């Protein structure tokens, strides 16, 4: 009985070993198959991916090229539009500068022409002292003004008094700190002048009014309305070519001259000082 049981147990164990062995072998085979299948899938996927890359790469390159080209075109157009706007602004600026340059040239030429017509004296050609009018006497015959400069300022009698517009009168008396000026329209006033047109010399006097009269002409010549009169040098006290006034009419006896200055409204003046 025991022998019979032992034989059955031995067969069972032997059969069990075979089953375990077969199970282990099956597991190993499954693992090998799984690894092989994974490797094959990886290879297939890699090959598929490479094929996809090869196929799509030209399209991607073409799309990228087109996108870059379009972007570059827009950038170029934007730059051209900006450059065009700047070019327009520069053209306007150039036109303005040209107009300003032309205007300045015209004004300069007109200024030079006027200087020639008026025999304008540049700074440095006339030595002068500066003073201010402090009082005045204005009646039917006397046209006098007082200035705050005198002997201490080396002011001399008979010196011409003028301003930026032209002649005003002459110094008739000098004190230590002040001087008296006889204005051009005083009845006692006489000043040598000349015509800018003919160069004809004349003696200009006052009429007690706001106008002057020509009292003497050196040559028997017609005087035209509109002629400009300038100072004519007398000794060393009156400089040449200081504007005085313009001939505006004839009263049947004298030619009338309107002074360039408003002789009733004077402030700062210059007193001619002869070069030492």
Among 186, 182, 140, 139, smallest CA distance to 159 is for 182
| pLDDT tens, residue by residue, 168-222 | 999 999 999 999 999 999 988 989 999 988 888 889 999 888 889 998 887 777 7
Among the ranges given (115-129, 138-152, 242-256), the one the predictor scored with the smallest mean pLDDT? 115-129
Residues 203 and 258 in one domain: yes
Residues 259 and 146 in one domain: yes
How many structural domains compose the chain? 2
Helix (H) or strand (E) holding 40, with range, is helix 2-118
**Which residues does 242 contact at the CB level (< 8 Å), separation at least 6?**
121, 126, 160, 162, 166, 167, 230, 231
Residues 111 and 138 in one domain: no
Helices and strands, counts by H and E, the chain: 1, 12
* Residue 117 confidence (pLDDT) above 80: no
CATH of the domain at 219: 2.40.10.340
| pLDDT tens, residue by residue, 46-88 | 555 556 556 666 656 767 777 777 777 767 777 777 888 888 8
Residue 17 is assigned to a structural domain of this protein: no
- Over residues 240-263, mean pLDDT: 91
| pLDDT tens, residue by residue, 32-48 | 767 665 555 555 555 55
CA distance 159 to 153: 13
* Percent of all residues in the chain with a pLDDT value above 70, rounded to a whole number: 70
Contact 212, 185 (CB under 8 A): yes
Last residue of a domain, one of 93, 118, 143: 118
Helix (H, G, I), strand (E, B) or coil at 210: coil
- Over residues 151-165, mean pLDDT: 90
CB burial readout 121-135, b (16+ within 10 A) else e: beeeebebbebebee
CA distance 261 to 166: 7
- The boundaries of the domain holding residue 179 are 128-272
The mean pLDDT of the chain is 77
Residue 204 is assigned to a structural domain of this protein: yes
């Amino acid at each position: 009985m025991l022998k019979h049981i032992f034989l059955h147990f031995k067969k069972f164990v032997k059969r069990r070993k075979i089953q375990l062995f077969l199970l282990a072998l099956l597991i190993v085979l499954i693992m090998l198959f799984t690894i092989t299948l994974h490797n094959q899938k990886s290879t297939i996927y890699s090959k598929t991916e490479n094929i996809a890359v090869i196929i799509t790469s030209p399209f991607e390159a073409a799309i990228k090229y087109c996108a870059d080209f379009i972007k570059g075109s827009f950038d170029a157009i934007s730059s051209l539009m900006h450059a065009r706007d700047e070019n327009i602004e520069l053209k306007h600026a150039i036109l303005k500068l040209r107009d300003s340059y032309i205007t300045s040239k015209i004004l300069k030429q007109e200024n030079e022409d006027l200087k020639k017509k008026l025999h304008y004296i540049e700074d440095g050609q006339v030595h002068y002292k500066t003073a201010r009018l402090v009082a005045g006497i204005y009646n039917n015959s006397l046209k006098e003004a007082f200035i705050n400069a005198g002997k201490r300022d080396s002011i001399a009698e008979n010196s011409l008094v003028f301003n930026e517009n032209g002649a005003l009168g002459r110094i008739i008396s000098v004190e230590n700190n002040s001087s008296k000026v006889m204005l051009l329209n005083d009845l006692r006033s006489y000043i040598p002048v000349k015509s800018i047109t003919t160069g004809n010399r004349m003696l200009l006097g006052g009429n007690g009014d706001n106008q002057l009269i020509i009292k003497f002409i050196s040559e028997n010549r017609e005087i035209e309305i509109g002629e400009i009169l300038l100072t004519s040098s007398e000794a060393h006290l009156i400089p040449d070519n200081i504007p005085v006034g313009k001939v505006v009419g004839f009263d049947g006896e004298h030619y009338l001259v309107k002074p360039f200055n408003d002789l009733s409204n004077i402030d700062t003046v210059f007193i001619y000082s002869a070069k030492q």
